Amino acid sequence: MKHLALPLLAALLIAASPAEETEHVVTEGETLGGIANRAGVSASVIARANGLAEPSVVRIGQKLIIPRQHRHTVAEGETGFSIAYKYGVPYSDIAVANNLAEGAALKPGQVLVIPAILTPFNLADASRGHNGIDIAASIGAPVKAAKEGKIIFAGDEPVRYGKMIIIAHAGGWHSTYGHLSSITARKGARVGAGEVIGHAGSTGDAQEPELHFELRKSNRPVDPVKQLTPPAS
């Protein structure tokens, strides 16, 4: 396969009211604090999601990501993959947020919590680069392997990511899971797709409970949001 099949894709950003929008274009006279107040999302979270350095001044025409959790009501014919496609969030994390068993069927009318991506992939700025994505999580939420593979690291990463797991997959792919509160899989073990390997936390330099998730192909960082197998039609 050309890509590692993961339920991820860039979010569809649709114009909405300030309390609902996931993207905002700065207009004249606006400040980050004012945008944050109207959106109902803290200024520090918006600044972090957009790589804004202190004092976090915004400029007219600047496009800001507004990270927020969503609630989604399942429509007839929707699947986990199609919902992940819409919001740009790994389906495994949607499943965790809603206590769904691996492979559980979704029912029309079912309401799902869609966790937010707090920090996007960014290699453009070497000083503030981010080789993966950070996903909002609850302390202790189970973290699952994105694909089957072999665990090649399971322990403490001393610089940034705290308790961390790295899995080697077929085709030269690797996935990384950081800021864990606990690790339940051991180095050298083989794991299946969707198997619990640890629990979300805030170890390392995490500012809040989150999962740091990375993908690498032949040791080169790849944006996880672009590695989605589109839902079957």
* pLDDT tens per residue, range 47-100: 877 878 778 889 999 988 887 777 899 999 998 888 887 877 777 778 877 878
Integer angstrom CA distances of residue 4 from 8, 58, 94, 233: 10, 36, 19, 19
Is the distance from CB of 86 to CB of 13 less than 8 angstroms?
no
User: pLDDT tens across 127-141, in order?
Assistant: 555 788 888 777 888
Report the C-alpha gap between 155 and 204 in whole angstroms: 12
Residue 191 CB contacts under 8 Å (≥ 6 apart), including other chains: 145, 148, 149, 150, 151, 167, 185, 197
- Which pLDDT score, from 0 to 100, does residue 7 have? 36
User: pLDDT tens across 170-205, in order?
Assistant: 999 999 999 999 999 999 999 998 888 999 899 998
Residue with tokens 């189970």: 142
For each of the domains in the chain, give its residue range(s) and CATH number, in order of start.
Answer: 23-65 (3.10.350.10), 70-226 (2.70.70.10)
- Which pLDDT score, from 0 to 100, does residue 23 have? 80
Structure confidence at residue 20 as a pLDDT band (50, 70, 90)? low
- Which pLDDT score, from 0 to 100, does residue 174 have? 95
Model pTM above 0.85: no
Report the C-alpha gap between 227 and 223 in whole angstroms: 7
